Structure 1
Amino acid sequence: MQLEINKESLPVYEALASEVRLHIIQLLSKNKLNIKELSEALGISSPIVTKHVKKLEVAGIIRTEKIPGKSGLQRISILKVDCIEINFPAKISQSYATYETSVPVGHFTNYHVVPTCGIATTEDIVGTLDDPRFFMDPKRVDARILWFTQGFIEYKSPNFLREEDELQQIEISLELASEAPLSNDNWPSDITFSLNGLELGTWVSPGDYADKRGKFTPDWWPPIINQYGLLKTLRITSHGTYMDDELLSKMTIHDINTESDVWNLKMEVKEDASNIGGVTIFGREFGNHNQDILFKIYYL
């Protein structure tokens, strides 16, 4: 589940602001339970447990199913999510000048992918699913989503730095997920990032999400497959390389080759990775964030 700092996310924040409800989540992470079982485990009355469960249902954290029991139908509570990510408003470095380039998902310059794989525009799948040859179909330039299980994809963005410019930081933001059969919230994948030939580090994508429809995902896209990803920012600074605030490596901005006319970004799931869970890249008009791959160069 992905949240923003806005009023639409308040039901989730409110649902989590309770010791009892946190305890319910912990219990449901181990077993599906009915109201009576939750009541006994928590040591509080069933009516009070029901109110807490309702709060968690409204927030989309749990769901309730009716199944046959000894005395008729009983309501069983089931945990829906295993990860919640909160996107804070982007910080702005006022002291730096910037160059910014948006690269569409279909404008990759090199690839080697292993099925499952595919690309799609806002209107249809390009070619045939699980056939890497269609990654060279001319229609690929209109792609808004692509996915593969193992291999790599590369993108190039122009390097507009002048000789007198002093590079301070590079940020690359994009919406990412793993690539599971259909979808799976718990489907880790080791995605390795390189820039201009320098390996920057590996981020473990937690899953491939279809618990709710992507905000911008087209209506024709099947609801049982990946709907959205996580908006991630790869940040190369003078102190190291980060994925959001998580340190990926000690590679700094000073290690990057800046003499090239382009920034060459490579995303890869290696053959010997611990978690070969694939990559899904969401662009404009797909997923939860209406953007392509955004390169932002900070300089003095």
Structure 2
Amino acid sequence: MIIDVTTRNMNVLECFSSETRVRIIELLNEKPYNIGELAEALGLSSAIITKHIQKLEEAKIVFTENTVGKRGTQKRCSLNVDKMTLVLRTVEEEKPRSQSGFTVDLPVGQYIRYKVQPTCGLASSVKRIGMMDDPRYFDDPERTTAEHLWFAIGFVEYRIPNYLVGQETASCLTISLEICSEAPYYNENYPSDITFSINNMDVATWTCPGDFGSKRGQYTPDWWVDTQYGLLKVLSVTDEGTFIDGVRFSDVRIHQLNIKPGQELLFRISCPEPGSGANSGGVSLFGKNFGNYPQDIRVTVAV
């Protein structure tokens, strides 16, 4: 696991500020433990251990699963990663540049355009929005409260606020979001070729491996029973090309997007129709109150 030392990754970095959490990692290095066993080994209550495990699980350092024990169901804890590399200075940051720019969070329901086909729908943190598999409800005024949306074919498009001023031009655009495929109910082996476009230019197509639902999402409401969470992907367009999670996906460079003050900045997420030769596995998006990551679609523009 490679982690940039930034405020965006505080949920991971904070895991090592607690002696108790570090001792938990030491124990799990030996073998899996359940909550009760950890509590006994550390001389703490199960309630306290549970809170620490939730923090470690949120950071993807620990994996938990419910298993049958001698006294009913127990939560079994295991290490989820073997190594972690902290990156204090990235390649882009080595270059002199202005420290100005901006970051905005876009709720998943605040798209400005869409064209979707079933299976499709929207849900807030408290209820489904409209009827399932009826694209008309993507126009429902309540869509702006959506924390989760999904569609089998089509696209959603967002307008990113453009706060550039004067003669500023973008040197780097970064978009992070929680996303996965869309299968009826869920199917963790369900590849989908998802294309990201900025200002009507396709910058990268990423194949998501599936639609995840066998384990509950960290922030998914208890009443929700279908898709539980996605993968956190980080899309970056720089003067060197377009990258997803640091891996080069295309030669599209930031200057080709023509991001300047006063000009519209659009971000589209799309999935092809069946028969196109691509994996038509749909799209599911998650907001800060759904899935495994407490964030909406986060956009950072550096100048």
Normalised TM-score (structure 2): 0.70
- Summarize the alignment of residues 168-187 of structure 1 with structure 2, pairs less than 5 Å apart: 168-187=171-190
Asked if 2 retains the 8 angstrom alpha-carbon contact of 1:196 and 1:265, the reply is: yes
Report the CA distance shift for 1:134/1:59 in structure 2 as closer, same or farther (over 3 A): closer
Give per-residue Cα distances to partners, 1:101-140, cap 9 Å, x unaligned. Answer: 1111110000000100000111111111000000001111
Asked if 2 retains the 8 angstrom alpha-carbon contact of 1:4 and 1:87, the reply is: no
* Same amino acid, percent of matched pairs: 38
Give per-residue Cα distances to partners, 1:163-187, cap 9 Å, x unaligned. Answer: 3223210001111011112112211
SS in 2 for 1:139: helix
In the alignment, which residue of structure 1 is the partner of 2:73?
none
Asked if 1 retains the 8 angstrom alpha-carbon contact of 2:230 and 2:292, the reply is: yes
The question of 1:191 aligning with 2:189 is answered no
In the alignment, which residue of structure 2 is the partner of 1:250?
251
The count of corresponding residues between Structure 1 and Structure 2 is 238
Asked if 2 retains the 8 angstrom alpha-carbon contact of 1:12 and 1:60, the reply is: no
Unaligned runs of 5+ in 1: 17-57, 65-82
SS in 1 for 2:265: strand
- Summarize the alignment of residues 193-208 of structure 1 with structure 2, pairs less than 5 Å apart: 193-208=196-211
SS in 2 for 1:262: coil
In the alignment, which residue of structure 1 is the partner of 2:110?
107
User: What value does the CA root-mean-square deviation take over the aligned residues?
Assistant: 3.3
In the alignment, which residue of structure 2 is the partner of 1:217?
220
The CA deviation at 1:144 is 0.6
The CA deviation at 1:63 is 7.7
Unaligned runs of 5+ in 2: 1-10, 16-20, 32-61, 69-79
The question of 1:261 aligning with 2:263 is answered yes
Q: C-alpha distance in 1, partners of 2:119/2:269?
A: 16
Asked if 2 retains the 8 angstrom alpha-carbon contact of 1:4 and 1:88, the reply is: no
Give per-residue Cα distances to partners, 1:147-175, cap 9 Å, x unaligned. Answer: 00110110011111123223210001111
Asked if 1 retains the 8 angstrom alpha-carbon contact of 2:182 and 2:284, the reply is: yes
In the alignment, which residue of structure 1 is the partner of 2:35?
none
Q: Which runs of 4+ in 1 moved over 6 A?
A: 61-64, 83-92
The structure with more radius of gyration: 1
**Partner AA of 1:221 in structure 2:** W
Give per-residue Cα distances to partners, 1:5-54, cap 9 Å, x unaligned. Answer: 745994998489xxxxxxxxxxxxxxxxxxxxxxxxxxxxxxxxxxxxxx
Normalised TM-score (structure 1): 0.70
**Partner AA of 1:121 in structure 2:** S
SS in 1 for 2:105: strand
